[in-house]
Amino acid sequence: MAAAGAEAPGGEGWRAAPRTVPCPPGKLPKPGKPGRNARAGRRATRRDIAFRATDTAAPRRAPRAPPCPRPLTLLAARPARCPQSLPAPGPCEARPAPSAAVPRTRRPSPRRRPAQKPHPSRPLFGGTRVATADPCAPRAWCVPCLVSLDTLQELCRKEKLTCKSIGITKRNLNNYEVEYLCDYKVVKDMEYYLVKWKGWPDSTNTWEPLQNLKCPLLLQQFSNDKHNYLSQVKKGKAITLKENHRALKPAVAEYIVKKAKQRIALQRWQDELNRRKTHKGMIFVENTVDLEGPPSDFYYINEYKPAPGISLVNEATFGCSCTDCFFEKCCPAEAGVLLAYNKNQQIKIPPGTPIYECNSRCQCGPDCPNRIVQKGTQYSLCIFRTSNGCGWGVKTLVKIKRMSFVMEYVGEVITSEEAERRGQLYDNKGITYLFDLDYESDEFTVDAARYGNVSHFVNHSCDPNLQVFNVFIDNLDTRLPRIALFSTRTINAGEELTFDYQMKGSGDVSSDSIDHSPAKKRARTVCKCGAVTCRGYLN
């Protein structure tokens, strides 16, 4: 048996030293025929010459046992166990501390140790290795988690683990909170609902009597989803269905669960959008039309994202020294144009006139009346699912006065050549997200297909309520103006926001909308705006 503080035999790359009987002082061992044990002893002696000096100075740390695979049943990526939730190390995970009083019985072999197989909880792709305080301890991998917080909580509760970083502690490990309702039935004149518990896997769903449920909002949502589904079925089949009051049909329960999961996904997306935004106005998301969830390939940004090879110089070269930008020679006057706003923060210049706002080098403060677009959206807007087949749209939740700044159009800044290539792909898919920056030249284009803000979801209309203006603030390069959208009239709360996709910063309609030459050879996208002046196509 190995001494205390040493590893158990069998470690990879280790071999036990031969046992020898110590001789009394003054006596030599009797010579004999060298056998197998003696030859092994000589080999061990030669092998241990390199370690003799260090072993006599201080005992070496006991070697680490090879990692023991843990059976993890995770999703796409296997996140490492949380440090707070690690149980006591098992025999194959123990790394005993060395003891000076116990001699070493084994030493590492000088031969090259074979490469260890990767630990199942360590990712084989990407990530960053983080060194720990203990130089002999293994370094941990820090990788982005690919699963949601609720999924991690479900895994922790399933394995009876605690993790403070995801909100699972000993106090709430066994807490039960209703996440949504899955099904309904009546047994012996008592109503029961199948409950999905928040942070628990579906296998723990239970039937609970109505009297035990203190969640009126979830009950109302369950009832609304049931009636919406039944009304859609009746409308589609044009027949009268007798509703079973004793239990729900599987199709109805399946729709209710999908709707509940969609509602949770949209709420998470809404929270993410509001975390990423830098403007004052709040962003809301709703879908009462279908089961479409958040877009899977869209990233919210607040300003232009230059493509590789494109440089955006966001630093002004000069600024004003005004104390009152209304009455003194301010930035617009230096650029040879008029001040764009009145005292009510409404635009007063005609479409096609550029806007020059005060920049970071100006001595005026943040309350300057010539700082409007740079403050971002001030209105609460809602991304909603349209019922006319136009996909997502944007509506205002508050009243917007005419000639007021509403939002900025941002996206990825690309070259015109790249825009031509992407435009053909977008036309074949029936989508349009390209906006040419053609204030003076036509070198760059804004593509809001993957990167953008709320304006990504604003639909087209041939009779829009938003107007496009070119804006210059810190970047005074006339090839790269910022695109601002101002209201053309009073927009009431709940009304959808639209702008003309063919509208240029000059205020004119692009010739692409009326160019039917066969040289373009692009698929044309049908316009669904429904306006009296509809041109019929978006491109």
Active site residues: 409, 501
Residues 180-198 as b/e (b if ≥16 CB within 10 A, e otherwise) read bbbbbeeeeeeebbbbbbe
Q: What are phi and psi of 448, to 5 degrees?
A: -105, 25
**What does the buried/exposed string (b/e) look like for 515-538 if buried means 16 or more CB atoms within 10 Å of the residue's CB?**
eeeeeeeeeebebebeeeeeeeeb
Amino acid of residue 145: C
Token digits for 67?
């990692």
- H or E, element range at 482: strand 482-487
User: HEC profile for 171-205?
Assistant: CCCCCCCEEEEEEEEEECCEEEEEEEECCCCHHHC
Q: How far apart are CA 10 and CA 414, in angstroms?
A: 61
Distances (CA, A) of 506 to 380, 412, 502: 28, 21, 11
Pairing label, strands 482-487, 466-472 = antiparallel
Distance, in Å, from the CA atom of 339 to the CA atom of 34, rounded to the nearest integer, reads: 104
Given its phi and psi angles, is residue 189 left (phi above 0), alpha (psi -120 to 50 degrees) or beta?
left
